[in-house]
Structure 1
Amino acid sequence: MKVAVGTTNKAKLEAIRSVFLDGVEIIPCKVPSNVREQPFSDEETIQGAMNRAKNALVEVNADLGIGLEGGVTETKIGLMLCNWGALVLREKINEPYVAGGARIVLPEYISNRLRNGEELGTVMDDFCQQKNIRFHEGAVGIFTNGQVNRVEMFTHVVKLLKGQYEYEQKVIAD
């Protein structure tokens, strides 16, 4: 089975590779999300994940496509990290499986910068005085003191996607 993945981000790829194992060819590709660089709602983040899944599937002509997107969403208690994934099949490209994952409230000093138009990856690199936090522990890893990192967060989403796909395949087979 060929799985097109709409990212070249190391953390996202590691999450996908940890869930899709034997007999699966994972093909990363850089495709657009067709949403803002910093998605700013659940809806926009979901749309970015679906767009990445579809764009990757078409780009590679694979059996299925996966898109993972991180974003933020405003809530009554503050700006929260959100992360969403989508899985599409070639024969059902407009019927994606969708799943979301962990959320945490971001500190106000980070949230304010995002509300002023900056992108989380850039803000986190500046805040941590490191480069490419998004490819490693991510904001979730920093603000959970390493209890949950970005790979684990996206692995959970990928498991939810694969589980939905497998369940439907099982129902169809029965």
Structure 2
Amino acid sequence: MTLKKLAVASRNPVKLNAAHSALARAFGQTQWQLEGLGVASGVAEQPMTEAETRLGAENRLTALRQSVVDADFYVAIEGGYDRIQGLPYTFAYIAISDGLHTQVGRTGTLPLPESVARAIEAGGELGPLMDALFQQNDIKQKGGAIGALTDHLVDRTGIYRDTLCLLLAPWLHPELYRGEALGNA
């Protein structure tokens, strides 16, 4: 079994578990040494557009790579909010890099109740709003709004893990993607 290092731009157990699970699935013969590090996103605490959310993930990835120079893979996840065709949604952007190549993608979208959307647009943050709505504490360190609003049919760890697995396709089949889909770091 090979030992490799995975750095994640967070100390949130949901994000750490999702990243570790995705890489463990993709590279079954590898044992991953996991390092979580809180780094700045350079965007608002609650990103309010798709563009700002993506930028937050990319900024976190850059900051992580500057702070941890010896990882085999780097992962950054940024949750955000936007109205798409007038309807409120939450989603996340995920960035992954091996130090040479980078892939960035978005999770699926979760429709939000209008009351939650208005509270976010008034300056609230989704995690604390979900805590109040579902009378929980620190929901974003657990199943998140995704888990709460889908009655745990889907949760944050699973959607982040699955999105990361999709982003790993070029590393799993480099002969098919060489010079094509892998973006430059």
Please report the TM-score for the alignment, with normalisation by the length of structure 1. Answer: 0.89
Map Cα deviations across residues 13-64 of structure 1 (whole Å, 9 max, x no partner): 1111111222332211011111110011111111111111121121111233
Matched, 1:19 2:22: yes
CA distance in 2, matches of 1:54, 1:64: 12
Deviation at 1:145, TM superposition (A): 1.4
Matched, 1:78 2:90: no
Contact 1:101 1:153 in 2 (8 A): yes
Contact 2:57 2:94 in 1 (8 A): yes
Contact 1:77 1:105 in 2 (8 A): no
Structure 2 partner of 1:111: 117
CA distance in 1, matches of 2:42, 2:164: 21
Read off the aligned partner of 2:61 and give its amino acid letter: A
Deviation at 1:2, TM superposition (A): 2.2
Read off the aligned partner of 1:80 and give its amino acid letter: Y
Alignment of 1:1-174 (within 5 A): 1-21=4-24, 22-61=30-69, 62-92=71-101, 96-168=102-174, 171-172=177-178
> Which 5+ residue runs of structure 2 have no aligned equivalent?
25-29, 179-185
> Which 5+ residue runs of structure 1 have no aligned equivalent?
none
Distance 1:28 1:106, change over 3 A: same
Identity across the alignment (%) = 28
Distance 1:84 1:164, change over 3 A: farther
CA distance in 1, matches of 2:173, 2:66: 24
Map Cα deviations across residues 111-142 of structure 1 (whole Å, 9 max, x no partner): 11001011111111111121110011100111
Q: Mean Cα displacement is larger for which, 57-66 or 107-116?
A: 57-66
Read off the aligned partner of 2:66 and give its amino acid letter: V
